[in-house]
Each structure stands twice: as structure tokens, then as C-alpha cells.
Amino acid sequence: MSVKGALNTLGAFGSALTIIGFGQSNIPTYEPAGTSVRIKAGRSTVDAEENDLGGQIGAVYGYNGDNEFIGQSTNALVREADEIDFIIDQDSPAEQAVYVSVSARNDAICASWIAVEYRDASSGGGGAWTGDVGRHCGQRWAWGREVAGKNPDGTDWEPACTWLDANFTNNTLSTSMKFKASDYGDLANQTLAEGRECDATIFAREGGPIAGKPQKRDLPPRPQSIADEL
């Protein structure tokens, strides 16, 4: 069972984030063992200075609505332009991983999107975080070049990809991240209206699970100063 109906998320259209429809085929399918988290790597061009946007994910961690740890996935390599479904091993498989934390390894990965689907598909499912958010919120990014849905004008939407790397290669800022799935799904309109598009994600230099949960910050996000023109 997969998410029914259209899933809206946050993506870049022009110079700003807006509500964009996320393609249903990009959402992981029902998994009886627990929450499914699909991570998609970006795609580079053959003549790009950095021509491999795939890399290693150490683990994906799940937390329930009270931000209590409920399980984690195994590690895996996500090859360039490929996608891997990470299954969170949970004692109660139908418990919803409301908060999802992703940690990279020393082999950098540039993630175009991270889509979440609950076993019970309640409230339309989880959500879909995209690399456009990382780009907008000051993380190191590259052009993702893989279609995630349609822009408001009907053209293909190819979100940026956001770098995660435990080695911080080429000034990558973060090893791990954590977000509330519904803030980039059912609640995307509210997230945007309240100006929480960056506050709804935590980025960290440390690897492994992130204990805290996303919340409103007192300071604005770091301005974008690093971009890969691939």
C-alpha cells in the first residue's frame, strides 16, 4: 500500500521555495517490517568536476511523535542517480517514524530527496524532504538533475541535491540531518506559511542519530555561500 492522492512538498521554483507536487512513483511502497525511507542520489554530468553524487548512508533512524527512538535501518551504498529504500527495524512495525534522522559516512552523498512512508499510510503517509530545502537553508548543494515532479508551470521539477559527508569534503557542512516528515508532506503549506522551511530540519556535523527535534530557531539560517555549478 502506498500513499494515496497527491503529496505536496517544498521545492524551489525560481528563487524561492514553494509548494510542488511530488511524484507518487518516488514514494516507497508499503513495507510490513516498519517505516520505509527512500533516499535518491543526484546525477552529475560526465564532464563535471565532481562526477559522482552517490555515496554511503550509515543508517536511517526513526523516532515517534514524542521524539522517542524506535529503530534504525542498516547501512547501504546509494549509487549516483539511484535510489535505495531503507527499512527502519521497529519493535512495533506500524509505529510511525514521525521524525527521521539520516547519517552519512566518509563516502559523500548528495541527496535529491528523502521520501517517507508509514506501514499504515495514515493521514496520507509520511512526507518528502528534497535537496531544494538544503540549498535554500545554506547547505552545500549540487544540481540534482533527476525529475521529482512538476513545477507550478507544468515543467519538470528537478530538485537540487544536498551533500552529507563525514569527511566534510569540499567544505560540506553536515554529516547528518533530521526532519519531521509531515512538515514536508501534509503540513507543507503550514510549514511554508509559518516560515519554518529551514527550522523543520536539523543539520549536524556529528554522525549517528540526532537526539533533538526540529524547532523554531532564534537566528536565521546560514546564508548560501557554497554551490556546485555542475
Q: Which helix (H) or strand (E) is 113 found in, with range?
A: strand 109-117
pLDDT digits (tens, 9 = 90+) for 18-29: 999 898 888 887
pLDDT at 158 (0 to 100): 98
- Examine the pLDDT at 197 and tell me if it is beyond 70: yes
pLDDT at 225 (0 to 100): 39
Least confident of 105-109, 117-121, 195-199: 117-121
CA distances from 172 to 58, 203, 214 (A): 17, 11, 21
- Examine the pLDDT at 109 and tell me if it is beyond 90: yes
**Rounded average pLDDT over 108-121:** 92
Which three cell numbers, joined as nine digits, stand for 209? Answer: 542519530
pLDDT digits (tens, 9 = 90+) for 160-185: 999 999 999 999 999 999 999 999 99
pLDDT at 11 (0 to 100): 94
Tell me how far apart the alpha carbons of residues 129 and 69 are, in angstroms, rounded to a whole number: 20
Which three cell numbers, joined as nine digits, stand for 213? Answer: 527535534
What percentage of the chain has pLDDT greater than the value 90? 76
pLDDT digits (tens, 9 = 90+) for 87-99: 999 999 999 999 9
pLDDT at 23 (0 to 100): 84
pLDDT at 230 (0 to 100): 36
* pLDDT-based confidence at residue 209 (cuts at 50, 70, 90): very high
* pLDDT-based confidence at residue 48 (cuts at 50, 70, 90): confident
**Rounded average pLDDT over 38-42:** 98
Q: Which helix (H) or strand (E) is 202 found in, with range?
A: strand 201-204
In one-letter notation, the amino acid at residue 64 is: N
Return the closest-CA partner of residue 9 out of 113, 80, 117, 88: 113
Mean of the per-residue pLDDT values of the chain: 89
